[in-house]
Amino acid sequence: ERFAAHEGMRPMRAVFTRQGHIFTTGFTRMSQRELGLWDPNNFEEPVALQEMDTSNGVLLPFYDPDSSIVYLCGKGDSSIRYFEITEEPPFVHYLNTFSSKEPQRGMGFMPKRGLDVSKCEIARFYKLHERKCEPIVMTVPRKSDLFQDDLYPDTPGPEPALEADEWLSGQDADPVLISLRDGYVPPKHRELRVTKRNILDVRPPSGPRRSQSASDAPLSQHTLETLLEEIKALREQVQAQDQRITSLENMLCELVDGTD
């Protein structure tokens, strides 16, 4: 289903939230920047819709599902605004604004497992501007030096929950979570499993298991002849391409010799 979250023609951005909503940024018809929160089961009315300002830069949302905070970084802006998304009205709550002098050309966002938990760091950005790439660290002041469980719940780690072929077969699974209590410890390298499939393999159709002789029957003569014809045609095509490449190389050499 195609749906325009914002009426303006400028670029839009969207991220999924922990609550199952879709948070979007875009523009109104009058080119005002706008943010919205939507229920994916009902796009007729937004859960929340707020107009921001009249700047031209596209708002890039960076969402932290652990704290349910979304950070908005506009191209050409020199500030980062952040909001908390909750289940209570007005659903998108403004928290604060970080301001600097240099306008940003781009922004990177460090995953949660890369933060320094001993300094109560909750977000780290890498701001790209004309002179350099500047790190921006956001922390929560705490008097205690103990690990802050409320700031660092278990977070998704680098270990995949499914292999690629499992996901392609339709399986689904929740992310594999890790604890940051002792900081992030990279796991040992996993053995890369690669399954090579032969394109000539012919699998028996799914259904009731047939007899051993029927399921393990060899390829028919017609199938073998068809495959051999295709291989022959491919070889002829490769030979023709090789001849054409040789001819073009000779022509190029003649042109180079003629210019010397």
Is residue 210's pLDDT more than 80?
Answer: no
Is residue 108's pLDDT more than 50?
Answer: yes
Q: How confident is the model at residue 219 (pLDDT cuts 50, 70, 90)?
A: confident
pLDDT at 97: 96
Query: What average pLDDT does the segment 220-244 reach?
Result: 89
For 237, the domain range is 229-260
Strands (E), the chain: 13-16, 22-27, 33-38, 48-51, 59-64, 69-74, 79-85, 92-99, 106-109, 121-128, 133-139, 155-156, 177-178
Do 61 and 147 belong to one domain? yes
Do 147 and 22 belong to one domain? yes
**In-domain check, residue 217:** no
Task: Give me the number of domains the chain comprises.
Answer: 2
pLDDT at 27: 95
Q: How confident is the model at residue 206 (pLDDT cuts 50, 70, 90)?
A: low
**In-domain check, residue 7:** no
Q: How confident is the model at residue 188 (pLDDT cuts 50, 70, 90)?
A: low
For the chain, where are the alpha helices, taking DSSP H only?
Answer: 164-168, 212-215, 221-259
Do 122 and 237 belong to one domain? no
pLDDT 10s digits, 23-64: 999 999 999 999 999 999 998 899 999 999 999 899 999 999
pLDDT 10s digits, 75-98: 899 999 999 999 999 999 999 999
Among 118, 134, 156, give the residue marking a domain's end: 156
**In-domain check, residue 191:** no
pLDDT at 191: 62
Among 156, 178, 210, give the residue marking a domain's end: 156
pLDDT at 185: 72
**In-domain check, residue 188:** no
pTM of the model: 0.69
Task: State the CATH number of the domain containing residue 45.
Answer: 2.130.10.10
Q: Is 241 left (phi over 0), alpha (psi -120 to 50) or beta?
A: alpha
Do 151 and 23 belong to one domain? yes
**In-domain check, residue 21:** yes
Amino acid type, 247: S
